[in-house]
Amino acid sequence: MKQTVYTYFILLFSLTFFSGCYRYIDWAATIVDQADKIETCIGLAKPYLKAARVYDQFTTLALFDALWLHEDVVDAYVCAHAAKYAFNDEQYHKFLDKQIEENEPYISFYLLATIYGPSGIMLTDVNPLWVVQLKVGDHYYNPAKIRLVELPHEYRYFFGKRWNIFKKPYLLQFDSYDQNNIPIVGPLTREVELVFRRVGHETSMLWCLDSQGRAIVTDSLDQDTMAYDINTNLF
């Protein structure tokens, strides 16, 4: 009986409290000026955002968040940037052409990384603790360029809550063409994978592509890897 009374009390309290919250929010919106919403095109970027978490039992080894700078993401960036600066049509298309031209030679990713261990560990080290490679089909490719960057605010917005000042932002760039001048990601490519590897541990992020070369939206964003010993990874 006491349990039943207690349950009804909690239910009544919740209804009263939350209904009051909604009334407060509505009241605040009428008293405090609200910012107008502008287009961000974030929906174009979401399918290209992936994350991986690597654990050794209960110890966190590394946290990785990557945004593939696919042409859809570049379009989203240009859309958000143009809205921010109120570009006219001519400015918009000029800026878009510049971004496409800069992106064309590379398969690029923005990467947020937190690596646990001795202080000062960087992916740009001469002999880094972790290496990152691009896998397409059965072939692995090393970055043509990897460097620390100041992440543009538009891309911080695309990362959402995954962006914070404690993660190091990198720009990874892989050559778009192999040694035979054949596109690495072509019309028949259906999977693009970023592989992160250190001695004894490995994890990856996988983008599945449709027939148009666009990322397929999946329910899972995060890939958690728990390594129970130095030779065994459970995915």
Would 22 be classed as within a structural domain?
yes
114 & 26 share domain: no
For residue 205, tell me if it sits in a domain: yes
- pLDDT tens readout for residues 158-201: 999 999 988 999 999 999 999 999 999 999 999 999 999 999 99
**One domain for residues 56 and 3:** no
Q: Which domain holds residue 10?
A: 1-34
- pLDDT at res. 35: 64
Q: 71-85 and 89-103 are packed helices; what angle lies between their axes, rounded to 10 degrees?
A: 150
Q: Which of 115, 181, 122, 173 is nearest to 145 (CA)?
A: 173
Are residues 30 and 108 both part of a single domain? no
- What is residue 39's predicted lDDT score, i.e. its pLDDT? 72
Euclidean distance between CA atoms 210 and 190, whole angstroms: 7
The 8-class DSSP code of residue 162 comes to G
pLDDT at residue 228 is higher than 70 = no
d(CA 134, CA 137): 10
Within a domain: 76: no
Residue listed under structure tokens 């001795």: 118
DSSP string of 71-85, one letter each residue: HHHHHHHHHHHHHHH
What pLDDT, in 10s, does the model give residues 49-58?
999 999 988 8
Q: Is the pLDDT of residue 6 over 50?
A: no
Residue 64 and residue 30 share a domain: no
Number of domains in the chain: 2
| Co-location of 13 and 126 in the same domain | no
pLDDT tens digit string along 194-207? Answer: 999 999 999 999 99
pLDDT at 22 over 50: no
> E strands within 72-187?
106-115, 131-136, 139-141, 145-148, 168-175
pTM metric for this prediction: 0.79
Using the predicted structure, report yes or no on whether residue 233 has a pLDDT greater than 50: no
Cα 133 off chain centre by: 16
Whether residue 118 is found in the same domain as residue 21: no
Q: Are residues 66 and 2 in the same domain?
A: no
Kindly state whether residues 53 and 29 are assigned to the same domain: no
> Do 117 and 211 belong together in one domain?
yes
One domain for residues 59 and 24: no
Per-residue pLDDT reduced to its tens digit, 116-144: 987 778 999 999 999 999 999 999 999 99
Q: Are residues 10 and 62 in the same domain?
A: no
Do the domain assignments include residue 26? yes
In a domain, 86, yes or no: no
Task: Give the separation between CA 234 and CA 52, rounded to whole angstroms.
Answer: 13
Q: Are residues 62 and 121 in the same domain?
A: yes
**Domain presence at residue 228:** yes
**b/e burial code for range 3-39 (CB count within 10 A of at least 16 → b):** eeeeeeeeeeeeeeeeeeeeeeeeeeeeeeeeeeeee
Please check whether residue 196 lies inside any domain of the structure: yes
Q: What is the mean pLDDT of residues 65-90?
A: 96
Would residue 3 count as lying in a domain? yes
User: CB-side exposure of 112: number of CA atoms within 13 Å?
Assistant: 22
pLDDT higher than 90, residue 154: yes
